[in-house]
Amino acid sequence: MYSLGERRLIAHLDMDAFYASVELLRYPDLRGLPVVIGGGRRHQPETLPDGSRRYFRLRDYTGRGVLTTSTYEARALGVFSAMGTMKAAQLAPGAILLPVDFDEYRRYSRMFKAAVREIAPHIEDRGIDEIYIDLSDVPGALDDGGRAVGRWLKDAVREATGLSCSIGITPNKLLSKLASELDKPDGLTLLGFEDIPARIWPLAARKVNGIGPKASEKLAALGLRTVGDIAAAQPDFLVRHFGANYGRWLHDTAHGRDQREVVTHSEPVSISRETTFERDLHAVRDRATLSGIFTELCVELAGDLARKGYASKTIGIKLRFDDFKSVTRDLTLPAHTMDARTIRRAAGECLKRVDLSRRLRLLGVRAGALARLTDLVAPIAAPEPPPPRAEEAAPLYELPLFAQH
């Protein structure tokens, strides 16, 4: 794509309050009001006989969910994503609560990405509502630092979806990710290396992708609160406190250095299903309930594998106890599988290795060491038998263990 030393132009595009904004397209009467998305259970708006709608209020919620998004009006009340819904209800009891509708968000996600791809095809997916775009090869982009392309992208996204986004355009992914946040919502921020001291160094360390709650707390304890503080620290000081890899990365990052490429394709590493119970369950007293949920998770996981065309060689479980501590166990099988019963059996073996005296709040099942079905089935037999006709083939769900080779 580019050779070292050549100029790169990378965009980070982030949809503004994505889930909430999609919901406002459906419920335009909520525009301007504090609205939050999340919860979990049924709190679908109710349409009254006169055509008006009755919405669920945050104060009416009971349960263990968290918020996934909030509108800017709700954020002004101190209510943010990842906050427990019950806690949010304390802060903004009158805010409107809408249930999540991932299918709809995925539909809009495909729409905005398709619109971007028309202009700049070199895209890295970073989840449902953000992407990196390599603009280096977009004709004319380098002439004005990407400003014209940036405006064009924003217009295209709005035209395709009716939604606004914020874009940062800089020489690398690290700076673009930070830049896209500087003028949210509906922002377009261009930065060069020369802007780092004025625009990047004043930012809290926590703003950097890769500096989470633990690292920022540790940095603060060392007196380093902003990106500029980290930039001013001696590299060996950082290495001493954070290890060779992370220490060096912190130093490079604080100086705006990042050589990562925009990755247009990647294969999944694992696929999983997990659920948090409405109340904590005990392995003995709630055995039947737990067992049913456990099997259901395995069946769903097998379905996900089949639908996506993968088989797994390592099956794992995850438990979260009532004290919020979690443990994982996994088991590598002799061959890849996508069979629900095989997954259930392996997960059951894993479960035997866990002390179950505490009550559980979460149970999960994970399929790792994935292989594409097409890479697995083909080499099974030599000489190659004629492939079975699709309608004669057993449902994938019923296939036993796959032999590799």
Q: Does 130 bind DNA (CB under 7 A)?
A: yes
| Residue 333 C-beta: closest distance to DNA, Å | 8
What does the alpha-carbon distance between residue 400 and residue 396 come to, in Å, rounded to a whole number? Answer: 9
Q: Does 66 bind DNA (CB under 7 A)?
A: yes
Q: Does 209 bind DNA (CB under 7 A)?
A: yes
Give 141 or 376: the residue with its C-beta nearer to DNA. Answer: 376
Q: Does 264 bind DNA (CB under 7 A)?
A: no
Task: Kindly determine how many residues on this chain lie close enough to bind DNA according to the rule CB under 7 A.
Answer: 60
**Cβ atoms of residues 204 and 181 within 8 Å:** no
Q: Does 316 bind DNA (CB under 7 A)?
A: yes
299, burial (CB in 10 Å: exposed 0-12, middle 13-18, buried 19+): middle
The interface with DNA within residues 133-162 (CB under 7 A) comprises: none
Q: Does 211 bind DNA (CB under 7 A)?
A: yes
The torsion of the CA quartet 18, 21, 26, 32, rounded to 10 degrees, works out to 160
The torsion of the CA quartet 351, 352, 357, 362, rounded to 10 degrees, works out to 0
Q: Does 212 bind DNA (CB under 7 A)?
A: yes
| Residue 127 C-beta: closest distance to DNA, Å | 3
| Residue 144 C-beta: closest distance to DNA, Å | 27
Amino acid at 321: F
One of 43, 154, 251, 273 touching DNA (CB under 7 A)? 273
Per the annotation, the verdict on 130 as an active-site residue is: yes
| Residue 2 C-beta: closest distance to DNA, Å | 21
Among the listed residues 328, 341, 257, 330, the one whose alpha carbon sits nearest the alpha carbon of residue 302: 341
Give 138 or 250: the residue with its C-beta nearer to DNA. Answer: 250
**Cβ atoms of residues 160 and 22 within 8 Å:** no
Copy the structure tokens of residue 350.
Answer: 């894993």
Q: Does 291 bind DNA (CB under 7 A)?
A: no
**Cβ atoms of residues 17 and 68 within 8 Å:** no
Q: Does 44 bind DNA (CB under 7 A)?
A: no
Going from the C-alpha of 72 to that of each of 34, 75, 82, 166, 188, the distances in angstroms are 7, 5, 15, 14, 18
Phi-psi region of 357 (alpha: psi -120 to 50; beta: other; left: phi over 0): alpha
Q: Does 286 bind DNA (CB under 7 A)?
A: no
The interface with DNA within residues 344-403 (CB under 7 A) comprises: 350, 353, 361-362, 364, 369
Q: Alpha-carbon torsion 2, 257, 209, 200, what sign?
A: negative
Q: Does 208 bind DNA (CB under 7 A)?
A: yes
Give the H/E segment covering residue 178. Answer: helix 173-180
Choose the stretch contacting DNA; rule: CB under 7 A; options: 76-84, 113-121, 159-167, 168-176: 76-84
One of 86, 111, 203, 220 touching DNA (CB under 7 A)? 86
Q: Does 303 bind DNA (CB under 7 A)?
A: no
- What are the residue ranges of helices labelled H in 48-138? 72-75, 85-91, 102-119
23, 130, 278, 398: the active-site residue: 130
The binding site for DNA (CB under 7 A) comprises 40, 63-66, 68, 81-82, 84, 86-87, 90, 126-130, 177, 208-216, 243, 245-246, 266, 268-276, 304, 313-314, 316, 323-332, 350, 353, 361-362, 364, 369
- Catalytic positions, please? 130
